[in-house]
Structure 1
Amino acid sequence: MQGFRNFLRGPGGKILLALIILPFVISAFYGYFTGGSGGDVVAEVEGTSIYRNVVEQRVQQTRMNLRQQSPDIDPQLLDNFINPGMVLQGLVNNALILHAANDAGMKVSEEQAARSLMRFEEFQDQNGRFSQQIFDRQVRNMGYTPTSFLGVLRDDMLMNQMRSGFEDTDFGLPYELADLRRLGEQRRDISYIRVSAESLLSDFDISDEQVQAFYEDNQREFMRPQEFRLQYIELDRGAYLDDIQVTEAQVREEYQAREEMFKTVAAQQERRRVSHILVAEKEGVSEADALARAAELREQIEAGADFADVAQASSDDSASASAGGALGVIGRGDLPEAMEAAVFALAEGEVSAPVVSDAGVHLLTVTQINQRSLPSFDELRESIVDELKTAQAENRLADDVARLEEMAFEHPDLQVPAETLGVSLQQTGFFPLSAPEGIAQEQVVMRELNNQAVREQGQNSPLVELAEGRYVVFRVAETQPEEQISLAEVRDTIVRRLQLAAAQERLESMAAEGEAALADGQDLAALSGLWSRDVSTADDLERGATQPDAELIERAFRLPRPAEGEAGAAQVMRLGNGDLVAVMLDAVRDGDPEGLTETQQRAALAQLGELEGAGSFRKVVSWLRENGKVKIYNDRLAGTVEE
């Protein structure tokens, strides 16, 4: 069973998940098709236009998200992988799915979408409750109004309905699971020879003339991209806190105000455990008779009789008499007005004078008072100081934010706003758009930096809210144009590239020699001598393993099973990194389809059903691509996201 799980979690499973998921998550919650104008249309899907600026934003957003999640990722690899063409394919798929869902009559109401917002942690406060303020700020930072974001969310929920209709309704059968376990938990033994390009580099000497020629022929490859340095003013609530002093008198005044307020609230929320004795008015018993009888019972209690015993013996309220007259815990508003007034005037253990109600005459007693008490001044002092300072900081921040927003609009740069507000101008280092630093790593800053007026005309940006209590206005202070990198800086890179090219040619020649030798009936031992490399072995390999090499193992599991009693035929192949490999399958041992408990069997069938459902939905998307009305304008997409 573990082997089966490893298979699903290994490279094959990851590729499968990427094929299923990536096209559909590229644009989640960022607006699929809005924006732009006629000349910006890069695709038309069932009458819906997809605009170039949307693709650009999605590419940058996705790259930035991945950089934040994996700071050490190779920028060139990231830029090559997350490219406009791939993102556009995801947007096209989304448009087709959304169109099919609408055609099928699927609906998501605004109320459903609004309710789903409550579950998003991104929009919840520290107590886990939905915060309208946080929601407004977050969607504004993504470039939306609350209404437009809700529309995007409805579309996403509608597409999920369509997807779930396939993925959540498929199932796996026991015989399919048995076959999959035989394959998924299969083990293989291999023998192999591996020759890497790296191991051949030292065989090739590259001359200065070769380096110079390559540099001159490929100068566009050796360009340093345009870089930007941002100048900015940042207003942070935390910085204001350091300058605010709170006096002891202010703290005590706040405590007293809270104390008065607390007393009022505590009185309203006070709960009392109450018991009563009822003398009912009935035939032959007037109100005067009931009052007299209640007075007699009260005298008995004051003389030392137990209230509960008297209630049990004498109360006309049969429902509470057996419990000693207990009515339970009472709050304000739970009893008739006269009874409530009497109850909340009593001290604990005190018995009231007779009280008249529609039911008769009552004697009341309070057995327990539950009332919140305000913590002492010393206990609250620190929190009051923090709250007073925070309140003052927020007031000052709000004033300065308003002033900054106005001055940034009125002035051509940030010098005067900084001097007026008494804050320092800060700046980032130089960075290309593909690798932002400092505040430029914030998504909302990058969005404003893509504004032509800000990036190219030197205007101040609009006020940008980075987080709660943190604001910036920035401008492009300096730019460094795209420039040629000197030969000296890239010489080592060129030498290595030329060596690798020569090594790859050598490997191609060795591959041809190896294939010819195998065709002549020679074995792996003969190739060992031909290539001057040792034969290695790897036993008991399972799908998804990473040692000795993930791709080598994946390719080994593609080799045909040898006939019973025969050795496998050797094959020559090239790995994705260019390495040359000759590999021979020595043994195959299928996984055991038996041995699962009933619980494990159900879980495995459910997991198989999910895979089957995902496969079914991929076929649906393929069918939509083949039969839907899709027009992609690749010429308009060219040049998108130049970083």
Structure 2
Amino acid sequence: MLQDFRNNLKGTALFIVILISIPFALVGIDQIFISGNSVEGEVTVNGDKITKLEVERALEMHKQALRDRFDNLDPSMLDDDLLREPVRLRLIKEKVIAQRAHDEGMGIAKNSIVEFINGIEAFQVGGSFDRDTFEYNIQRMGYTLRGFYDSLTSSLLVTQTNAGITATEFVSNTDLADAVSLIEQERDYYYLTVPLADAQKKVDIDPSAVTDHYDKHRDRYTTEEQIAVDYIELSLDALAEGITVEEDDIRLAYEEQKASAEADSTYQLAHILFARDDPIENEQRLEQVQTKLSQGVAFAQLARDYSDDLGSAEQGGELGVLTRDALPEPFIEALNTMQEGEISGPIKTDSGTHLLYLTKIDTTSFDDYSSAKPVIEQQLRRALAETLLPEKIELLREDSYNAESLYKVAENLGLQAATSAPFPRTGGEGIAAHPVVVKAAYSSDVYGEGYASDVLELSPTRAVVIKRNAIYPAKPRSLDEVSEEILSELKTEAARAIVKAKGEDVMRRLGEGESIEAIAKDEGMAWQVSIDTRRFGGDVDPEIRDQAFTIPARASLPHAIGFFSRHGDYIALSLTKIENGDAANLAGEQKAKLKAAVQRTLANQAFTGYEESLVAAADIESD
């Protein structure tokens, strides 16, 4: 249980890292701090308040986690209105669990919390906890020190409760047998297909039917209402392109990066140390070693015979592989002039006098200044743009509020405004490809009142403000424009009726005792059989397999069902065998994995039930 608890703590640490990475300025959460809404209640649970800030913070964290999980997810698909209630409910669940934990006398030791905080990489500098970094990051998240401590304590209590409940769940032999019976169950079924495409080839639609259909349903054949919007897009890339970086700043950054790369270089070294109390003796022994080196005696042998460093002498003076920051300054000065295989002259340090043998250098390659300059210049531009972006967003938000023209706003801010092509409620191209833009465009404020929108997030580094330019009402489409569309609809409708009638006739014959194979041969239809098919996987059509497994396990066999496939074909299926899985047939490793999966499922069900019971009994009021 303790190990499970420790593993779950990783999730809490990840939550903190995700929260720190959220671009709050981009989504306007800073306004909550400024307006004082950080203490305004969103909901009260058993007398304890969940603030608007807590909800906004959890909402943005949830959206960021989704972005991190799904690489190609369009952030504009993350609708606040859609996600807010599930996030709010999650906070309520966490609140009632923490409250119950407190009531039951549970707690987290202060030293455990301190140890946990110290171990979070986001709060560290050079691998060690840094208080300034810690305080800076929790302030970015909108926490006071006390507030962060209390929030972390509650999160750890929830984690501890989860670990305690899930660790007590066990799987009985009956539970395992029931799971194996369903998961390893095998079924045999036969099916035939009545193709929609074949029926469509036989359908002939009279042109007058197209005209009659158009006359009766003119209201269905209109263009979509469309809107065109003016917009100002602000992006990190565009902002970076407009920034000029001084040559001196590029040169300084180059030297810093070069020094950092050099610091990452490693040196395989050996040395001989002369550290006797008598300086004259040291000098004599040094001369003896240098003479023998000139005569070809191996450095390692001389280190064993002469070195006063007892820790390395027996290893031939080997010091191992070291980085520059692990070496004394006199060593570094000597290494700056040495090549692999060279032996230094006498080097004096606080320890004594050394002869240094450089056996190998592993250096991090670094481009010369002219080659590295464009990359570093772009890095500096982007870094400056990241600093300026929140300020620019806030200026855009303020200047566009109640603005008569976004083109005027763009001129004042040194940005570019543009007008989109008209697009319907289903979206379009360019800026209209983003659902968040389409939703805002057809909102009552933009579409109805003609106001500018709030700043809309297109991605973590792109934002936009839009304003209505023109509305294009829906208008009737001519018969010539829609005749092919109507013809296709009528042919599909007629073909579907043919397929349905044929499928129902097949089902009648199955009900009278005929087999799929016999009917298919009689009608010249294609048929297939699937033997020993399992519920998951297999080289079979998943849509048909899933339908076969909808038939109750206690159904009398053969059992026939009919349904339309997603392509419009009619499928007649006859289930002929059901054989339940047997745990005795599973290998030991397979059985162990399945048992672990069942245990996780039961544990999650137990914890979910505990959550739901606490929420049901709680006094919850929206503020």
- TM-score exceeds 0.5: yes
Q: What does 1:84-483 correspond to in 2, within 5 Å?
A: 92=89, 95-96=92-93, 98-105=95-102, 170-173=169-172, 176-177=175-176, 180-192=179-191, 202=203, 212-213=215-216, 224=224, 227-234=227-234, 237=237, 254=251, 258=255, 262=259, 273-280=270-277, 290-291=278-279, 293-294=281-282, 297=285, 319=310, 323=314, 326=317, 328=319, 348-351=343-346, 364-368=353-357, 379-388=368-377, 390-391=379-380, 406=395, 409-410=398-399, 412=403, 413-416=405-408, 418=410, 424-432=416-424, 435=427, 437-439=429-431, 456-459=449-452, 462=455, 466-467=459-460, 473-480=464-471, 483=474
Q: 1:420 to 1:191 in 2, by over 3 A?
A: closer
> Structure 2: which amino acid aligns with 1:458?
Y
Q: Residue 534 of structure 2 aligns with which residue?
A: 542
Q: What does 1:492-531 correspond to in 2, within 5 Å?
A: 492=485, 496=489, 522-524=512-514
Q: Residue 554 of structure 1 aligns with which residue?
A: 546
CA distance in 2, matches of 1:503, 1:332: 78
1:584 equivalent to 2:583? Answer no
Q: Is the 8 A contact 2:272 2:306 kept in 1?
A: no
1:608 equivalent to 2:605? Answer no
The Cα offsets for residues 553-607 of structure 1, whole Å up to 9 and x where unpaired, read as 33433446689xxx82444555686976654332344556455443333223222
Q: Is the 8 A contact 1:454 1:461 kept in 2?
A: no
1:190 deviation in Å? 2.4
1:523 deviation in Å? 1.9
| Residues matched between the structures, number | 540
Q: 1:432 to 1:591 in 2, by over 3 A?
A: same
Segments of 5+ residues of structure 2 without an aligned counterpart are 1-17, 124-129
Q: 1:607 to 1:389 in 2, by over 3 A?
A: closer
The Cα offsets for residues 587-635 of structure 1, whole Å up to 9 and x where unpaired, read as 3445564554433332232223223334444555665676666799xxx
CA distance in 2, matches of 1:582, 1:257: 72
Give SS of 1:229's match: strand
Give SS of 1:279's match: coil
TM-score (norm. length: structure 1): 0.55
1:254 deviation in Å? 3.3
CA distance in 1, matches of 2:82, 2:389: 44
1:383 deviation in Å? 0.6
Q: Is the 8 A contact 1:228 1:478 kept in 2?
A: yes
Q: Is the 8 A contact 1:232 1:425 kept in 2?
A: yes
CA distance in 1, matches of 2:421, 2:384: 32
CA distance in 2, matches of 1:225, 1:65: 32
1:177 deviation in Å? 4.1
Q: 1:381 to 1:146 in 2, by over 3 A?
A: farther
After superposing the two structures, state which structure 1 stretch, 382-391 or 99-108, moved more: 99-108
CA distance in 2, matches of 1:233, 1:156: 38
Give SS of 2:451's match: coil
> Structure 1: which amino acid aligns with 2:231?
Q
Give SS of 1:584's match: strand
Q: Is the 8 A contact 1:198 1:500 kept in 2?
A: no
Q: Is the 8 A contact 1:194 1:582 kept in 2?
A: yes
CA distance in 2, matches of 1:592, 1:523: 31
Segments of 5+ residues of structure 1 without an aligned counterpart are 1-27, 73-77, 121-129, 281-289, 633-643
Give SS of 2:368's match: helix
The Cα offsets for residues 261-295 of structure 1, whole Å up to 9 and x where unpaired, read as 95999799999754333434xxxxxxxxx455545
Identity of aligned residues (%): 16
1:364 deviation in Å? 1.7
CA distance in 1, matches of 2:365, 2:115: 46
The Cα offsets for residues 128-171 of structure 1, whole Å up to 9 and x where unpaired, read as xx9x99xx99x99xxx8588999999988876666565556544
The Cα offsets for residues 291-325 of structure 1, whole Å up to 9 and x where unpaired, read as 5554554565576698988987788x694696499
CA distance in 2, matches of 1:433, 1:114: 48
1:427 deviation in Å? 3.8
Give SS of 1:275's match: strand
Give SS of 1:613's match: helix
Q: 1:574 to 1:265 in 2, by over 3 A?
A: closer
CA distance in 1, matches of 2:83, 2:237: 41
CA distance in 1, matches of 2:236, 2:369: 26
Give SS of 1:95's match: helix
Q: 1:570 to 1:485 in 2, by over 3 A?
A: farther
CA distance in 2, matches of 1:245, 1:534: 74
Q: 1:573 to 1:311 in 2, by over 3 A?
A: closer
> Structure 1: which amino acid aligns with 2:549?
F
1:408 deviation in Å? 7.6
